[in-house]
Amino acid sequence: MNRLEPGQLWVMRIHAAIFAGVALAAGLAAGFGFHEGFGTPVWLPAAVVLVLLSYPLLIAPGRHWRAWGYEKGDRELAVAHGVLRQVHTVVPYGRVQHIDVAQGPIERSFGVTRLVLHTAGTAHSQVVLPGLRRETAEALRDEIREYIRQEPA
Amino acid sequence: MSGDTVADRRLHPATVPVRFLKDAPSTVLGLPAIAGFVSNVGVGRVLIFVGIAAAALIFFSWLSWYRFKYGVGAHEIVIEKGLLNRSRRSIPFDRIQDVDIERGPLARLFGLAKLKIETGAGGKDEGALDSVSVAEAERLRTALRHRGATIDASDDAAAAPRVPPIFAMDIGRVLLSGLFNFSLVFIAGLYAALQPLQNILPFTIEDFALWLGFTEDRLLSGAALPIIAAGLVLAGLLGVIAGVARTLARDYGFTLTLEPEGLRRVRGLFTRTEVMIPRRRVQLGLIESGPLRRRLGWLTLNVQTLSGESKDKGRQALAPLATEAEIVPILSAIGDLALPGDGAFVPVSRRHVLKGIVYNLPPAIGVSIAGLFFPPAWLLLLLFPLTVVGTILERRTHGYRLAGGLLHVRRGWWKQRLWIVPVKRAQTISVSRDWLQRRLGLATLLVDTAGAAMMSDPRIVDMRAEEAVALAAAIRRGLRG
């Protein structure tokens, strides 16, 4: 299984940090509220939030990043992800309806792109593969496109 | 290229009165009635309002009829409409997925039919001709179908002699099917619908309960048990009646005929619908059966088709109530589907039961702790062995079989389901393992298929992990053909 680009790990960390920042702000706000109401120290809720955040902020991004993987076959793409619930999905190229290569602002600054394969399916109609170098994603897209052109489903 | 098709046809003139009659209750009667109610004017004036509203409605119905034109060209059908904003839509024949004919009670009275053209773009009202004469609808449908994606049909379907149906339900069968469609939800819905009408109805719903003797003091006195029992029996009876009525309205005159391009289904008591299910668009089959139905040998056959977004379009009933012997020819008519052969199903792992027990432990422990403070909560613990028994029964019926390009998945002990998935229809294949499944060496396999989501999908829960990987590999090989 191919790992994702290290840049994606930073993207995940920043996503986690943004979430942590919001939670911390909420904790601080609650801290002032509780201070008014019950006389608890202002920093207490924020400290609790910080302790609770240690997993999603420090450990989870790395574990999630390591759980991702993909493997390119000659007729199908296999994508694995998930920490608690590990999912391994195989998408035959012939089933791909259309392909997106997407990049958000954070992803752009770390030089990674997302490949999104759309199938006609119901439960897994979108198979997302993040953390690819732009060239890798585009090469994959072109290969799948070429396959579809030669063998229409 | 497009643009040379002339839209030179209009809808049937009777469309105007039909539309008027359809809209009249809300517009002609509703608005003036509210006006009269609010402003307290005399009956005479209200009648004048009604007259004006009716005239306006007729005029606008006529105008929109007058401005609606369509035409069939060599490669496309063109629809022009709009009073001020004129729009011209052209639907190329090879984009047309399906042409359905629907006939509501009013339309049937006037000999009209609504033609619905579906392109698979997923929007509602992709192209609807509401309404044309029945003959025109039939003519258009043949024209659209035969010049569209299905060119292989050599003969003219309209001219071909009527073939006998491959499956039909007589009135007795429809009523029997209704008995199994016992529905209390429907009654709840009816009750909810009646609530806002309280002021208008000659009786109140509470009165009705009062007739039955549901008064608070009697309920509290404990002497109400027979009354409650009677109420339950009545509710059950109403549920049966509601189920029969609903099934009768939907499935009356159910016939399924085999045509060159697929299966044609006609059904409905008040609104007759006619749906074409092309063979190549059938994605999977689902045979369902309840405990009582199964004992009596009755099954229900649905198929999932590749279709637009609307939820009822993706799932089509091919046989609401049929015997296995009746289902076999339907399946073979579709071509891709078949009942499982003689070989045995592979059951899922025994550890499925263990997993069920482990997942039920936290709530059981929670209830035990709660019981320390509130002893009656202990009673809830009785549910624990019941769920365990349920899981054991579930495991007994849950299994799969892969043979001849078909994946059969069986599941459920109360309501038994059998999915028939042609391997070549698989969109993605995924194997997932949650935390506990990894510890127990189990995995869940899901073959995803196209079409609208059914209530549940053909996932195989808790197979042995190696087995799941092997089955996924076998399905992938099957896909390669």
Residue B321 banded pLDDT, cuts 50, 70, 90:
very high
Q: Do B432 and A86 touch (CB under 8 A)?
A: yes
Q: Of A18 and B233, which is predicted with more confidence?
A: A18
Across chain B, mean pLDDT equals 81
Q: What number is the average pLDDT over the span B303-308?
A: 74
Task: Determine the 3-state secondary structure of B374 from DSSP.
Answer: coil
The pLDDT assigned to B197 comes to: 60
Distance from CA of B313 to the nearest CA of A (A): 14
Query: CA-to-CA distance for A111 and A132, rounded, in angstroms?
Result: 8
Q: How do residues A123-136 score in pLDDT, each as one tens digit?
A: 778 899 999 999 99
Q: For chains A and B, count residue pairs whose Cβ atoms are closer than 8 Å.
A: 70
Question: Could you tell me if B472 lies within 8 Å of chain A, comparing CB atoms?
Answer: yes
Task: Determine the 3-state secondary structure of B207 from DSSP.
Answer: helix
Residue B94 banded pLDDT, cuts 50, 70, 90:
confident
Question: Could you tell me if B450 lies within 8 Å of chain A, comparing CB atoms?
Answer: yes
Q: Do B480 and A84 touch (CB under 8 A)?
A: no
Q: How do residues B376-404 score in pLDDT, each as one tens digit?
A: 888 888 888 888 899 999 999 999 999 88
Asked if residues A88 and B431 have their Cβ atoms less than 8 Å apart, the reply is yes
Both tokens of residue B278?
Answer: 């092309």
Q: How do residues B122-164 score in pLDDT, each as one tens digit?
A: 555 567 888 888 888 888 888 877 764 443 333 344 444 567 8
pLDDT above 80: residue B338 = yes
Residue at token pair 């004048």: B48
Q: What number is the average pLDDT over the span B286-301?
A: 91
Which chain B residues are closer than 8 Å to A88 by Cβ? 430-432, 472
Considering only A48-57, B91-100, B293-302, which range has the smallest mean pLDDT? Answer: B91-100
Residue at token pair 């429907």: B186
Considering only A42-46, A108-112, B288-292, B454-458, which range has the smallest mean pLDDT? Answer: B454-458
Q: What number is the average pLDDT over the span B283-304?
A: 90
Highest mean pLDDT pick, A40-49, B302-311, B317-326: B317-326
Sign of CA dihedral B26, B28, B33, B38: positive
Q: Do A121 and B472 touch (CB under 8 A)?
A: no
Both tokens of residue A24?
Answer: 């911390």
The pLDDT assigned to B442 comes to: 94
Q: Do A120 and B428 touch (CB under 8 A)?
A: no
Q: How do residues B399-438 score in pLDDT, each as one tens digit?
A: 999 988 899 999 988 889 999 999 988 889 999 999 999 9
Distance from CA of A88 to the nearest CA of B (A): 5
Q: How do residues B346-376 score in pLDDT, each as one tens digit?
A: 999 999 999 989 988 888 898 888 888 888 8
Q: What number is the average pLDDT over the span B83-101?
A: 79
Q: In terms of Cα–Cα distance, which of B457, B397, B461 is closest to B425?
A: B457
The pLDDT assigned to B285 comes to: 92
The pLDDT assigned to B310 comes to: 47
Sign of CA dihedral B167, B172, B174, B180: negative
Asked if residues B283 and B305 have their Cβ atoms less than 8 Å apart, the reply is yes
CB neighbours (10 Å) of residue B35? 16
Burial of B211 (0-12, 13-18, 19+ CB in 10 A): exposed
